[in-house]
Amino acid sequence: MDTANLTEKHQSEIVFKQLKKFVEEIIGSDVIEEIGISEESVFTKNLEMDSIEIVSFAEKVKKKYGHEIDFISWISKMDFQELYNLSVGQVVDYIVYRNEN
């Protein structure tokens, strides 16, 4: 594995830990302990976050990473199914790779 991949992997781990902290702040660490959280966790399904909680999460991401990415614009381009099935890992990838897909 080359240095660039190690750096991206390390960045992904750091971003995941930050996003996990945001989710814990919103839904509670006791809930996270009970259900767990991984990069595969879907906000609406696995984490059972409602629209208000997702908006709160988006605001935290915007506040932390807004100078680097346009998170709000990215999610606003998603259709309902994409947003409904959005996973923590997709957000990590977007932040790390600034992926416009």
Sign of CA dihedral 69, 72, 75, 77: negative
Q: How far apart are the first and last CA of the chain?
A: 25
In angstroms, the Cα distances linking 51 to 44, 80, 90 are: 8, 12, 18
Type of residue at 97: Y
Measuring CA to CA, which residue among 73, 50, 62, 80 is closest to residue 22? 62
- Distance separating alpha carbons of residues 35 and 47, to the nearest angstrom: 7
**Which pLDDT score, from 0 to 100, does residue 100 have?**
42
Pick from 26-35, 62-71, 91-100: least confident: 91-100
Domains in the chain, please, with CATH?
Answer: 3-97 (1.10.1200)
For the stretch 38-58, pLDDT in tens is 999 999 999 999 999 999 999
**pTM metric for this prediction:** 0.87
